């Protein structure tokens, strides 16, 4: 979905399907609903690290396989209900860009799982929180979108924080995990740029194929698909509740909340994820992890607050900067 200079949708940029939600301007009640859904979605995503820490014997590829199938099934059920069973149109509408999004997101799902297994959750979550800045940088390079001086300062601060995180990974023997984790925000940034190039309003069906892509990758890496009931339960929870409901809630909530606010509210995942493993698994963040995280979060919150003020002063979503 593209936007005009004033942030409103252009008529030619919308592709409606039977059962699509209305596109009327949001009222105050729907705005609050959007905020609640985004916070709920971020909370669901934040349980990924804790759930993965509770895997008993299954290896990463096996967990990824069942998690991805559960995710795809969850999205399929959601799309079926949303379009009242008439899902052929929405799936056809994703086109080549949707296929590319599916591949990139599928790779991101794979990187996420192995980053969590290879590095402390706090490190992974803070690295993931740099996604908005990678997206801004890639959009400037590929789409020619101008980036403000404030955003460049935030990007530089984020890079400094990430350097501290990588140094922490090297010192603690988690360098590989930190490098794998960098693939998560990079894949998300590529996905955002692809979304800005497409005309279809609803690309949720593309995420269904992302689940299949991740499952296919894992399929060729698994020797034995036998899994204990405990580990299967964990994998199903990861696919349905964590990423399944997490992405669905955030996708719906984004319809009623300005983009800068969505990015800011979504930080609930980064804040909560290390807390869950700290409380339930006793995985205490290192000093360097906390320092790097403070730098990154300060940059993100600062950019988000200023972006909110600019949007409210303009009476709508800010233009590309």
69-126, pLDDT tens digit by residue? 999 999 999 999 989 888 898 898 888 888 998 999 899 989 988 888 888 777 787 7
Higher pLDDT, 312 or 87: 87
**How far is the C-alpha of 302 from the C-alpha of 306, rounded, in Å?**
6
Residue 226 clears pLDDT 50, i.e. is over it: yes
Phi and psi (nearest 5°) for 9? Answer: -75, 140
- What is the length of the chain? 321
Residue 70 has what pLDDT? 97
What sign does the CA torsion over 116, 117, 121, 126 have?
negative
Measured CA angle at 282 (ends 278, 287), to 5 deg: 65
User: Each residue of 29-48: pLDDT tens digit?
Assistant: 577 787 788 889 989 999 98
């Amino acid at each position: 979905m593209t936007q005009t200079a004033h942030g409103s949708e252009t008529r030619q940029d919308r592709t409606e399907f039977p059962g699509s939600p209305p596109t009327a301007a949001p009222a105050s009640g729907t705005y609050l609903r959007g905020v609640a859904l985004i916070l709920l979605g971020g909370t669901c995503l934040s349980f990924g690290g804790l759930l993965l820490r509770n895997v008993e014997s299954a290896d990463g590829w096996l967990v990824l396989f069942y998690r991805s199938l559960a995710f795809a099934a969850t999205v399929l059920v959601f799309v079926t209900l949303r379009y009242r069973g008439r899902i052929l149109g929405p799936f056809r509408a994703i086109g080549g860009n949707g296929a590319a999004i599916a591949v990139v997101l599928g790779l991101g799902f794979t990187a996420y799982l192995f980053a969590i297994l290879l590095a402390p959750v706090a490190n992974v979550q803070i690295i993931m929180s740099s996604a908005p800045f990678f997206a801004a940088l890639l959009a400037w390079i590929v789409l020619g979108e101008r980036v403000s001086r404030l955003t460049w300062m935030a990007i530089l601060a984020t890079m400094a924080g990430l350097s501290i995180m990588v140094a922490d990974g090297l010192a603690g023997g988690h360098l590989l995990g930190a490098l794998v984790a960098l693939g998560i925000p990079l894949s998300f940034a590529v996905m955002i740029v692809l979304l800005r190039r497409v005309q279809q309003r609803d690309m949720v069906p593309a995420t269904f194929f992302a689940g299949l892509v991740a499952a296919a990758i894992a399929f060729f890496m698994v020797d034995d698909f036998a899994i204990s009931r405990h580990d299967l339960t964990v994998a199903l929870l990861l696919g349905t509740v964590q990423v399944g409901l997490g992405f669905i809630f955030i996708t719906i909530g984004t319809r009623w909340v300005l983009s800068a606010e969505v990015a800011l509210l979504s930080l609930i995942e980064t804040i909560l994820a290390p807390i869950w493993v700290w409380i339930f698994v006793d995985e205490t963040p290192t000093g360097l992890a906390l320092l790097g995280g403070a730098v990154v979060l300060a940059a993100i919150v600062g950019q988000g607050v200023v972006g909110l003020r600019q949007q409210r002063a303009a009476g709508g979503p800010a233009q590309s900067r």
